[in-house]
Amino acid sequence: MRGNSSMSLRRNPEGDWPQVDPSAHIDPTAQLIGNVHVGPRVYIGPNAVVRADEMDTSLGVAPIEIGSECNVQDGVIIHALGGARVTVGPRSSLGHGCIVHGPSVLGEGCFVGFGAKVFDAVIGDGAFVGTGAIVQAVELAAKSLVPAGVSVLCREHVIELVSTTSAEDCEFMEKVVAANVALAQGYIRLARDGETRLSKDRRPFQRVRNADVSQEGIAHGKIQ
Peptide bond into 103 cis (omega under 30): yes
Model pLDDT for residues 143-163, shown as the tens digit of each residue: 999 999 999 999 999 999 999
Contacts of 140 (CB under 8 A, 6+ apart): 121, 122, 123, 124, 127, 146, 152, 158, 162
pLDDT at 198: 52
Residue 193: inside a domain: no
Element counts in the chain: helices (H) and strands (E): 3, 23
Residue 34: inside a domain: yes
Residue 53: inside a domain: yes
Residue 212: inside a domain: no
Task: Please state the pTM of the whole predicted model.
Answer: 0.84
Instruction: Indicate which CATH number applies to the domain containing 168.
Output: 2.160.10.10
Residue 167: inside a domain: yes
Say if residue 135's pLDDT is above 90.
yes
Residue 198: inside a domain: no
Model pLDDT for residues 25-79, shown as the tens digit of each residue: 999 999 999 999 999 999 999 999 999 999 887 767 999 999 999 999 999 999 9
Domain count along the chain: 1
Cα–Cα distances (Å) from 112 to 66, 77, 90, in that order, read 14, 12, 13
* Residues of the domain holding 93: 6-181
Contacts of 222 (CB under 8 A, 6+ apart): 211, 212
User: Does residue 68 come out as left (phi exceeding 0), alpha (psi in the -120 to 50 range) or beta?
Assistant: beta
